[in-house]
Amino acid sequence: MPGYELWSDAERKEVMEVLETGVLMRYGFDGPRQGRWKSKELEAAICSTFGCQYAQLTSSGTTALTTAMAVLGIGAGDEVIMPSFTFVASFEAVLSVGAVPVLVDVDDTLTLAPDAVRSAITSKTKCVMPVHMCGSMADMDALQAICKEHNLVLLEDACQSIGGSYKGKSLGTIGDAGTFSFDFVKTITCGEGGVVMTNREDVYTNADAYTDHGHDHKGVDRGADLHPHLGYNFRISELHAAVGLAQVRRLPDFLATQKKNHAQLKALLSQIPGIRFRRVPDEAGDSCSFISWFLPTEEATRAVVAAMKEAGAMAGSFYWFDNNWHYIRKWDHLKNASTHNRMSAEQQEALLKLQQQDFSASDAIMSRCISTSISLLWSEEQIKEKGEKMVQAATAALAQTAA
């Protein structure tokens, strides 16, 4: 899956150009930087690659989400509907702007179930935040219709689905704003970094300032900038942007390899008795960073996981139901509202209610799901060996479970 697997001279060249000038900051120092503006180049490359009008780089995918929410006017007491299966950064960002995360069930797309979203809307709902998990997408037609009907902000967390698309549009460019993460294990990496993408000029202008202490970037130098609104230090460095600039140019090759390896392994896994693959709303738009597959029951899935571990075939596969980072079942720190700083009464009340909330529909999906990440480094022989080992372990475990 991640671009770090194919680190090359292209990344080294871009980084060395920054080190040669010694200007590691993305703003200012116009003379010493010798005309090298890696962050600006990467933002332009993101716009042209993914088809959005504006891109604002940030220090991480988390700060990208926080920035997007802030400049979209999401704040104290606003409810943000999000899925029960995501990465912890999604709800961390919601809490960081004073808003209230409203977690709802996922369906067999592993993303927001539209009916669950409709049922969760209240007078305080401000935003629907689909999270395009594991390389694939939510049902964006249904979610766009819901947002339009109720006048809600649509914010895409596409941090795990770089290169994916929905009906010809890149994930992250469909809603009012969208975000990518460029951390070390994403399809494109900067080491650390993120981006807010949007087609709204107001969102971009405000994001540009928000990520740099409120600077409007209209002065002749940083000391001449005005500060129309408060902001924070969510800047990316030129070193990180340089890595991303090389990586975004290599994305077509990454995706081609990813899709080829995905297809070969999926064909092998299809031999497992009773297997069913994740529903993808637009098959052509799957970035193919993961194969997500279901078995008939939780008992059967646990047996297969155990057998694959014993056979050494579980490497790179994830049983999210028991995972500490990605599913509501293990987010005790969230459900107990365990924070260092005091949160608002509304936030605390909403989080404590999660302890009693019924997520049985999500449990029925996630307890039967295994996701296998796709490496860019696999040879055809390695995929064949890996797939056969997985099939053998799974088939034996399912036979024993059925006996």
Q: Which of 186, 260, 309, 389 is catalytic?
A: 186
Q: Is 335 a catalytic residue?
A: no
Whether the Cβ atoms of residue 32 and residue 22 lie closer than 8 Å to each other: yes
Residue 131 DSSP symbol: B
Q: How far apart are the first and last CA of the chain?
A: 37
**List of E strands, 59-211:** 79-83, 100-104, 125-128, 153-157, 165-166, 169-170, 177-181, 194-198
Alpha-carbon 21 to chain mean position = 33
Cα distances from 248 to residues 13, 188, 280, 288, 390, in angstroms, run 14, 6, 25, 17, 33
Torsion sign over Cα 67, 62, 177, 24: positive
Q: For residues 144 and 285, what is the distance between their CA atoms, to the nearest angstrom? A: 17
Cα distances from 299 to residues 33, 71, 119, 398, in angstroms, run 60, 45, 30, 9
Pairing of strands 153-157, 125-128: parallel
Q: For residues 156 and 117, what is the distance between their CA atoms, to the nearest angstrom? A: 14
Residue 117 DSSP symbol: H
Q: What is the DSSP string of 88-116?
A: HHHHHHHHHTT-EEEEE-B-TTSSB-HHH
Whether the Cβ atoms of residue 19 and residue 38 lie closer than 8 Å to each other: no
Residue 212 amino acid letter: D
Q: Which of 305, 301, 303 is nearest to 364 (CA)?
A: 301
Whether the Cβ atoms of residue 166 and residue 144 lie closer than 8 Å to each other: no
Enumerate the β-bridge partners of residue 127: 80, 153
Order the strands of the 317-318 sheet from edge to edge: 276-277, 290-294, 369-373, 317-318
Q: Which residues are catalytic?
A: 186
